[in-house]
């Protein structure tokens, strides 16, 4: 992995993903097209690094995740056969540690992102290929996309924290049906259930994702979006709207006195595009984060 963090456009070298920033939009492309972008330990490491890099670069305003070739991600690479998911030897070598699901580490890292994340699902998204998209904020799919939460058909259980994310996205009944049957279903069903926001012809998918990313990047405060993203996700687990009121009050008070709020109002009154200057890497409020991070044990 190479490349320097910064606000300049360009690419960073990885082995199993591609990372390219163009005018404030980062596109992360799963890049094992000969294997339908099947998920590996290396890909998990590179995705973690990519999202760390994105959060550290104020030049990145929005992240798009897509796949190279005719698939988004066919799930875990099953090249090791029946022992693919058997970590007994690894755990025996490190008896003081508990093995952590790599897909879960990626999902949790995306969950913590300060940048909005758009999934552009361009073909089969199966297993971790489906679950890794759940903590992304907006999911767009191509006509050729297919989804499958196939774990029970492989003698497994859902991973990537999807037992938390999936019912919140589509409801418990649909989540149960998809995970109990493990069947593969078309993009039209994913759209009807609310798993994806829109379905596009294959050649229009990435342009549609970029148009949405452009709307965010050109018109909004980066700090406002970073705070709003975490407010929305964190409140999914709140027990009472008072929790939201507490955070809303602190957030609106902080941002209301900020340069970005003044710029937002004046640009509206002067009928011109805003020029927001606050940076998520430096200008988040002192109450952020307002939650206590859960520990893995």
Tell which residue, 228, 237, 213, 236, has the closest CA to residue 260: 228
Residues 196 and 253 in one domain: no
1 lies in a domain? no
Query: Do residue 96 and residue 233 come from a single domain?
Result: no
pLDDT digits (tens, 9 = 90+) for 267-287: 999 999 999 999 999 999 999
The domain containing residue 266 runs over which residues? 221-297
What's the chain's average pLDDT? 93
14-44 pLDDT, tens per residue?
999 999 999 999 999 999 999 999 999 999 9
Residue 17 inside a domain? The answer is yes
pLDDT per residue over 175-206, tens digit each? 999 999 999 999 999 999 999 999 999 999 99
**CATH assignment at residue 232:** 1.10.12.10
3-state secondary structure of 57: coil
Q: Residue 2: pLDDT above 60?
A: no
Within a domain: 3: no
Residue 171 lies in a domain: yes
pLDDT at 77: 78
Whether residues 155 and 252 fall in one domain: no
What is the CATH classification number for the domain harbouring 88? 3.90.226.10
The confidence score (pLDDT) of residue 92 equals 67
Q: Which residues pair with 199 in a beta bridge?
A: 141
107/161 Cα distance (integer angstroms): 7
Residue 5 lies in a domain: no
Kindly report the length of the chain.
Answer: 297
Has residue 69 got a pLDDT over 50?
yes
Residue 286 lies in a domain: yes
Instruction: Establish if 2 belongs to a structural domain.
Output: no
At 83 the pLDDT is 56
Distance CA 127, CA 179 (A): 10
Q: Look at residues 241, 16, 57, 202 and name the one whose alpha carbon lies nearest to residue 124.
A: 202
At which of 192, 217, 242 does a domain end?
217
Judge if 140 and 245 occupy the same domain: no
Tell me the CB-side half-sphere exposure of residue 19, using CA atoms within 13 A.
23
Q: Are residues 150 and 36 in the same domain?
A: yes
Same domain, 120 and 248: no
Beta strand 25-30 with 62-67 is parallel
Sheet holding 25-30, edge to edge: 10-12, 17-22, 25-30, 62-67, 117-121, 138-142, 198-200
Residue 185 and residue 78 share a domain: yes
User: Global pTM?
Assistant: 0.93
Integer Cα distance of 196 and 77 in angstroms: 25
Q: 172 with 282, same domain?
A: no
What is the mean pLDDT of the segment spanning 50-76?
A: 97
pLDDT of 222-250, one tens digit each? Answer: 999 999 999 999 999 999 999 999 999 99
């Amino acid at each position: 992995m190479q490349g320097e963090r910064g606000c300049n456009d360009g690419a960073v070298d990885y082995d199993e993903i591609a990372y390219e920033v163009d005018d404030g939009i980062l596109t992360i492309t799963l890049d094992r097209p000969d294997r339908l972008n099947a998920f590996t330990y290396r890909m998990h490491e590179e995705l973690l690094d990519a999202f760390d890099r994105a959060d550290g670069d104020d030049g990145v305003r929005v992240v798009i995740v897509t796949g190279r070739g005719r698939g988004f991600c066919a799930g875990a690479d099953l090249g090791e056969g029946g022992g693919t998911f058997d970590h007994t030897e690894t755990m025996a070598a490190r008896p003081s540690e508990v093995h952590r699901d790599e897909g879960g580490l990626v999902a949790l890292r995306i969950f913590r992102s300060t940048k909005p994340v758009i999934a552009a699902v361009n073909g089969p998204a199966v297993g971790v290929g489906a679950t890794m998209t759940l903590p992304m904020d907006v999911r767009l799919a191509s006509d050729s996309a297919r989804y499958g939460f196939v774990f029970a058909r492989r003698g497994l259980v859902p991973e990537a924290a999807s037992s938390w994310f999936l019912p919140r996205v589509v409801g418990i009944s649909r989540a149960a049906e998809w995970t109990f049957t493990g069947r593969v279903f078309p993009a039209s069903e994913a759209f009807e259930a609310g798993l994806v926001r829109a379905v596009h012809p294959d050649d229009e998918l990435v342009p549609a994702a970029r148009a949405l990313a452009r709307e965010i990047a050109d018109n909004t405060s980066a700090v406002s979006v970073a705070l709003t993203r975490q407010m929305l996700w964190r409140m999914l687990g709140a027990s009472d709207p008072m929790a939201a009121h507490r955070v809303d009050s602190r957030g609106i008070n902080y941002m209301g006195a900020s340069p970005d709020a003044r710029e937002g109002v004046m640009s509206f009154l002067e009928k011109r595009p805003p020029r927001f200057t606050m940076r998520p890497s430096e200008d988040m409020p002192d109450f952020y984060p307002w939650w206590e991070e859960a520990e893995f044990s």
